[in-house]
Structure 1
């Protein structure tokens, strides 16, 4: 199957130039040609404050006192609500006499319905600060609750990314939000993005605005010790794809349209010299610690390193963006009716986000490599491979093989077919991907309907 995978992908690539992305292929963003009046000319870096250290959760109560918070909503899910990260959080709030209430109805892999429930709860109270404890699902839910508590007349789709929603610019003043991540994957403590499964579309979408960013992310590596093996695995692959996608996204000065107002510049702007630093360092950490962190839940050094890698990649993709792995994943998750994830407390079929993202990664990067082979070869080296003798034409195949080895070593399911999909599902998956302009337009290679179908077909089996 691997031979067929390579052959089909190479056939689709033969008409592509070696590189149509000068800034990428040279590894530099210094360009002498005039910038098009239709594309952007600048990028903006935005990130939450990050405090890292074992036991740093104990400081959250003092932070809220310093903010003058009088009524705090703590947002989590029912599993995390019973674990040490939550008990340590509430212990700190109680010790510092912070008045709080708890919303623990977060849905793992949130939907529009679960977001609406959190919004209703937040609007019913007069909260002047928010605390999110959990993985990306809890943090994203808390961001949205905060947003719609600040803008009480808004409907959910008002702020959802176009063309699915109206893409309204956030002008309301949000309350301070402190995020305490318990998984090493989404990097949501650093970003202004909140993702959910929009049930009518059978695909994920989201809200993206710098205004949603947590004021502070308390990155406490002790919380990673509660992650089951599968959660550590899928979360880690989310980090890997965040870093790879942001590093290979189109450069910021090739993204269009150019904003007429700086407030209109999107959070996902394309790769840039600062985001590249975070993405590259994240990939270096993954190369050294990812497999160790999964193999031994008690390896605090490895799990601490992956917790940092998650935050690093979050800073990178939170400003550069992601592209096809994530764009395709939204339909893969939304159309799932069969797969049930191990170690996830879910009463319904569920494909964890990191799994839905990585399952197409070998095919995606083989597809994108002809446009910026140097970046793809650089990624091979950063992930522990050796690209010194690899020709540009082979960069995609080589990076796909590196990713595939990580997937196989860590027990990732063998493609979309192992998740319950077949070729008959490809049209629906493509249709669910097409509206994801926020991310798919950041890919270094534009995609037709047939291109997306080909990537999905190549991903039916991986090994």
Structure 2
């Protein structure tokens, strides 16, 4: 009996053994483990140390968790179905979910396209009752979101179906949220400090998302972004429970994207990949949540998100220029939709940082720029353009925090890094991104070409400061407010021209 007892390892030893197994059994192309010089996460030591601590004391011991670093990461993503023609299955999916009253969310442009024709036929074929809301605004504002919520309430749907780009999918997420919280104030769930940051503790209605652009990855994430007009800043709502039940990624639905929309959407994928790949490691984030329900969706880079992010980056570099130049290159269009979804899983769990944090005031404080190729009457800086315009400046700044990881990103752009010094990582990656943007064509070469001048910088900085959810993941960014302001000011100055 004594021998049997000795053969059973302690919890701490068992955890350590498991971690060693995991550490050495990743696929050989996983950058965290195949590169002997890679030292981004130190996941095993961090978690092993925690396991050792647990053998000495209970996790329930009272302590100030705000000072404790995170020790765990979670993997959350929508179910994804990928394939040309998969749209026609959506009626059966909703019937399988026992849907009786479906709110279909789209915009006026997509409503005229084949994707919506397929959706109407699929729902009608299964005898499902549905109503279509097609007034979604591109780059939604809080006012357009509230109008959509008010439209859905009298219909009282039990399911939602979003057909369109990120703006449509995000609007549908929030229609679903407030349908399930009819008593809530709009700011209750909005990310702090602009809103109250209330966690979503109810199960929402089923939501199926069918993307018609290859960019946002919104079909996989629990994030919805919009302009909060009164604050002149973009913000949003983020929680795992907001994510769609199912994303149907049908490459046939992205064929009609105009070239400018393909480029902008693809630049969003590029920055999702780069930012989640270079975000602070999950085990450097504070505070450790006091309850797992409070663990943020954006957790910092981790071994699982890394696999998705790096693959999406490589695919985007390879296929985005082809998809923009040739609408008949079906392989490139299909691979970009897949890359958008992969990047969605990556950043949906790791998070984004400075490009996105800075992009929100860039688009929210647009001095009057209207991007060519967008069929809208009002001025518009498309989301992908607003994130990419600061990318060279951002990665020049963040590289010092982890030169090796930034060099691996440069390698994904085709740079030979074999003789590059680690201290040159930022310059090399910034140059690679600048060249990529130039070759893609029709991209602004800095904030000046969007109409911004030096007198706008203070407002841009103040519009970035509230983006705490993403700024906390930015490597090298100061925690002290005045230092953070100074760093952001220098970044905006550096982003004025590439």
Q: Normalised by the size of structure 1, how large is the TM-score?
A: 0.93
Q: Which residue does the alignment assign to 1:289?
A: 319
Structure whose alpha-carbon radius of gyration is higher: 2
Higher relative contact order (CA 8 A, sep 6+): 1
Matched residues in 2 for 1:31 and 1:369: separation?
Answer: 24
Q: Secondary structure at the match of 1:189?
A: coil
Per-residue Cα deviation, 1:77-96 (whole angstroms, up to 9, x for no partner): 11111111111111111111
Match of 1:32 among 42, 45, 59: 45
Is 1:419 the counterpart of 2:432? The answer is no
Asked if structure 2 preserves the Cα contact closer than 8 Å seen for 1:107 and 1:114, the reply is yes
Q: Secondary structure at the match of 1:50?
A: strand
Shift of 1:31: 4.9
Asked if structure 2 preserves the Cα contact closer than 8 Å seen for 1:181 and 1:219, the reply is yes
Q: Secondary structure at the match of 1:207?
A: strand
Shift of 1:246: 0.3
Matched residues in 1 for 2:119 and 2:306: separation?
Answer: 33
Matched residues in 1 for 2:90 and 2:306: separation?
Answer: 31
Q: Which residue does the alignment assign to 2:107?
A: 77
Alignment of 1:206-217 (within 5 A): 206-217=236-247
Asked if structure 2 preserves the Cα contact closer than 8 Å seen for 1:239 and 1:313, the reply is yes
Q: Which residue does the alignment assign to 1:436?
A: 467
Per-residue Cα deviation, 1:85-112 (whole angstroms, up to 9, x for no partner): 1111111111111110000110000010
Matched residues in 2 for 1:155 and 1:32: separation?
Answer: 44
Q: Which residue does the alignment assign to 1:52?
A: 82
Q: Which residue does the alignment assign to 1:14?
A: none
Asked if structure 1 preserves the Cα contact closer than 8 Å seen for 2:139 and 2:167, the reply is yes
Q: Which residue does the alignment assign to 1:449?
A: 485
Matched residues in 2 for 1:75 and 1:426: separation?
Answer: 37
Q: Secondary structure at the match of 1:378?
A: helix
Asked if structure 1 preserves the Cα contact closer than 8 Å seen for 2:222 and 2:297, the reply is yes
Q: Which residue does the alignment assign to 1:4?
A: none
Q: Which residue does the alignment assign to 2:266?
A: 236
Alignment of 1:106-117 (within 5 A): 106-117=136-147
Q: CA RMSD in A?
A: 1.4
Asked if structure 1 preserves the Cα contact closer than 8 Å seen for 2:213 and 2:254, the reply is yes
Is 1:308 the counterpart of 2:321? The answer is no
Q: Which residue does the alignment assign to 1:9?
A: none
Matched residues in 2 for 1:435 and 1:112: separation?
Answer: 17
Per-residue Cα deviation, 1:410-444 (whole angstroms, up to 9, x for no partner): 12112111111111100000000001000011011
Structure 1: gaps (5+ residues): 1-22
Q: Which residue does the alignment assign to 1:16?
A: none
Per-residue Cα deviation, 1:189-235 (whole angstroms, up to 9, x for no partner): 00000000110111100000011100000000011111111100011
Shift of 1:396: 0.2
Asked if structure 1 preserves the Cα contact closer than 8 Å seen for 2:100 and 2:129, the reply is yes
Matched residues in 2 for 1:440 and 1:38: separation?
Answer: 19
Asked if structure 2 preserves the Cα contact closer than 8 Å seen for 1:236 and 1:306, the reply is yes
Asked if structure 1 preserves the Cα contact closer than 8 Å seen for 2:367 and 2:452, the reply is no
Asked if structure 2 preserves the Cα contact closer than 8 Å seen for 1:24 and 1:251, the reply is no
Is 1:328 the counterpart of 2:341? The answer is no
Shift of 1:345: 2.9
Shift of 1:391: 0.7
Q: Which residue does the alignment assign to 1:147?
A: 177
Q: Secondary structure at the match of 1:218?
A: strand
Shift of 1:30: 3.1
Q: Which residue does the alignment assign to 2:250?
A: 220
Shift of 1:346: 2.1
Matched residues in 1 for 2:237 and 2:145: separation?
Answer: 12
Shift of 1:283: 1.2
Is 1:65 the counterpart of 2:95? The answer is yes
Per-residue Cα deviation, 1:1-24 (whole angstroms, up to 9, x for no partner): xxxxxxxxxxxxxxxxxxxxxx99
Match of 1:118 among 148, 169, 183: 148
Shift of 1:32: 2.9
Match of 2:132 among 99, 102, 111: 102
Q: Secondary structure at the match of 2:234?
A: strand
Q: How many residue pairs are counted as aligned between the two chains? A: 440
